[in-house]
Amino acid sequence: GAGVSQSPRYKVAKRGQDVALRCDPISGHVSLFWYQQALGQGPEFLTYFQNEAQLDKSGLPSDRFFAERPEGSVSTLKIQRTQQEDSAVYLCASSPRTGEGIDEQFFGPGTRLTVL
């Protein structure tokens, strides 16, 4: 498949544990986005990469959240010392171009994180 893939699809963590969520964007896509979707809500923007540069991280809710994309392809969203309020679906999206045009964002299936 050529779509955005995310792993794991489901993650259960005990409060206080660290977790790492992976996103494989569509090959060749320059831009990569992370969103958080709470139950019954619309996705909320977390952060955005253009290649390996993190251009906007204004949506990260706290300094426990960290994202990286070191080689400009795969990205990892890390959450340290997880709290119950971190329970949500984490969506990754990619798009082919940069700011010269507004492209649709192609979304992955998400990782459902449950913090006990």
Amino acid at 87: S
Give me the least distance between CB of 12 and other proteins, in Å please. 17
Closest distance to other proteins from the beta carbon of 16 (Å):
27
To the nearest whole angstrom, how small is the minimum distance from the Cβ of residue 75 to other proteins? 14
> Considering the rule CB under 8 A, would residue 51 count as an interface residue with other proteins?
no
Tokens representing 29 are 């896509």
Residues at the site binding other proteins, with contacts judged by CB under 8 A: 31, 33, 35, 40-45, 48, 55-56, 58-59, 89, 91, 93, 95, 99, 102, 104-110
